[in-house]
A and B are shown apart, each in its own frame.
Chain A
Amino acid sequence: MKRDSRPTAMLLAVILAAAAMSTLGIPALRGELVAVVQEPEAAQAPAADAPAAADASTAPAEPTDAAANASSQTPPAGGPLPDDYSCLTCHKKGGDLWNETTPTVDESHLTNDVHWKKGLRCHDCHGGSETLESFKNHRDDPDFRSLRVRQDSITFCGHCHSNLDYMRKFSPSARTDQETEYWTSGHGQRLKASAAGENAQADAGVATCISCHGGHGILAVKDVNSPVYPTNVAQTCSKCHSDAKLMEGRTYDGRRLGHDQYEQWTKGVHGVAMLSKGDISAPTCNDCHGNHGALPPSVGSVANACGTCHGKVSKLFAETRMKHKFEVAGMPGCAVCHGTHQTFNPGDSMIGMGDGALCAKCHNPANPQLGATLAGADLAKNIHAKLDELKRNIELAGDKVREAERLGMEVRGSRYDLHQAFDALTNARTLIHTFKPGPVDEAVDEGLKVTASVQESAAAALREHTYRRWWLAGSLVPILIVVGLLVATIRRTPLPESRYDPSHH
């Protein structure tokens, strides 16, 4: 399972832009931009003044200025900001034009930022002039990249991250499709609709680059403290998606979005694997939904999403009539039985017609669903019985091996052979997804052969043990007889006269 490992955004100085504009007397925009930088949920209200810039934003940013010029230069050198660096005049505490109301960014806030570490400085992201001599008012400077409205942050980051020539300087295999992907995502579609004034989908409060990656102080994805490091992704998404107020009334494809996905995921087998067992390959939100192009998988695509990791099961299920019936009924494939965010740890009780068996939901003789048949109910019962038979025989064989082991017999070989029966059981459980008796029976029978062989060898070891005990008991009889005869002979033998005479001493 491979995750996207490239940071989406180059957002080094979003706050600086907000600060700059507020300093230049744009108070109405200042509040909005601060909301963009800090909390996505704080900027939910549709932007009344949103320009139709989003359409233009769907196209990769044209490398017209600093980034384009930089493409022919070497990567930035970095180092501390010089004293005459233009941004410091207003945005450094104590700068010549700084005052208490000016948003301030200190270099210490940026030292861990992945862009800062690569040598990028304020003007590399925000454009404009880095020296006071050539400084122009932001509003009059065509090189200054503004962040007037929420969707500007996408093109702001995309300015560099969609420019392959520029990104290559930092990584030879850098991705540059994040911006394009974003505009296809549920978030991007809503933001775009908002900018275009399409009320049906409009939502100006959706996540943008900085909602997940942060503003100043962006960490590399591989950094364990990054909000998009695998173990942190779900919690990052949950900042919005677990907020009942924020999610209230929001829908996707006509369905309510809900706000319990994170809680469910933490209880499911994948969440437990990642959070409790430290398995960072376990799937989190972006593995099923995508990251920059995040969308819920469609009904027909659920099995493919699961099949990214569970390829064999997905392949087997794809060939069944059940998958087709689920699709026709608008039911989401694997998720019908295994759950969605709270994916159940599968157990044998799920198959069959007993209490808690999932087959019984449709193959109910009293109330069949989706055209489920009674033959299907019989098949489910038979599969359950076959699995039980193999489990019982594994248990019996294991008991015999343990008993022989307890008696000191050599049974490591039998214990090793028993592995094959467990393999057969796991394989049979996988083959359930064919919903045919043949493959499951074949796998179970293979396991039963192994358990029969192991039981026989363990029984032989136990017989050998009994045999040894009898021979030991038998061997004691002549030994005791010999000992008895020796004792009797010794007693009958007179003691030799002592040559020791104490009177001569």
Chain B
Amino acid sequence: MVATWGAILYPVLRFLRPRAATASGALEVVAPFRVKEILQAKNNPFDFGGKPCLVVLTPDGAKRLAAGQAIQADDLRAFNAVCTHVDCTVKYRQENGDIYCACHEGIYDLNGRNVSGPPPRPLEAYVVTLRGEPGQEEIVVSKQSPA
């Protein structure tokens, strides 16, 4: 009897409570850290539609964050973190104020422009918007222009 009910209810329950998605949607994603955590975030870059997405803070943004002032969306930049040379994942070097590819030492500035090493093109840029209460804002990264 238990087995019968189990057999009937299990698929129903799994349908009602499906397994959590392991990757983000294709057009918009919320970064897995908040604005105030960006400099310590271990999961930056993070998954955005199957590709790594990197969020960086502009020098002015870093000053504002250090001074405890409010951060605007303009203080953040988000990029497809795939190097334009041979597709390695790039990382944010806050101490150098640049974006760095460790595979061949390609360097981009914080606007995503290739400035040194073999990368032939700038990084693909995404749109950043902020959502939530001041000090607790979430970072929303989008492939579309804001309305």
A residues sitting closer than 8 Å to B (CB atoms) are: 273, 279, 281-282, 309-313, 315, 410-416, 419-420, 422-423, 426-427, 430, 464, 468, 471-472, 474-475, 477-479
Contact = CB atoms under 8 A, between A and B. Distances in A.
B103 A410 contact: no
Nearest to A283: B118
B135 interface: no
B10 A309 contact: no
Given A311-B116, A311-B117, A419-B89, A412 B7 contact: no
Contact of A475 (B10, B23, B102, B105): B10
B22 A411 contact: yes
Contacts of A281: 114, 120-121
Interface string B1-34: 0011001101100100001011100000000000
Contacts of A471: 7, 10-11
A414 B22 contact: yes
Given A279-B120, A282-B120, A422-B87, A430 B47 contact: no
Interface string B123-135: 0000000000000
B97 interface: no
Nearest to B116: A311
A281 B84 CA distance: 12
B50 A430 contact: no
B10 A416 contact: no
Nearest to B5: A478
B19 A410 contact: yes
B11 A430 contact: no
Contacts of A426: 86-88, 103
A416 B23 contact: yes
Contacts of A313: 104
A427 B8 contact: no
B52 interface: yes
A478 B103 contact: no
B11 A410 contact: no
A310 B104 contact: yes
A52 B105 CA distance: 49
Given A309-B118, A311-B116, A419-B89, A478 B22 contact: no
Nearest to A420: B89
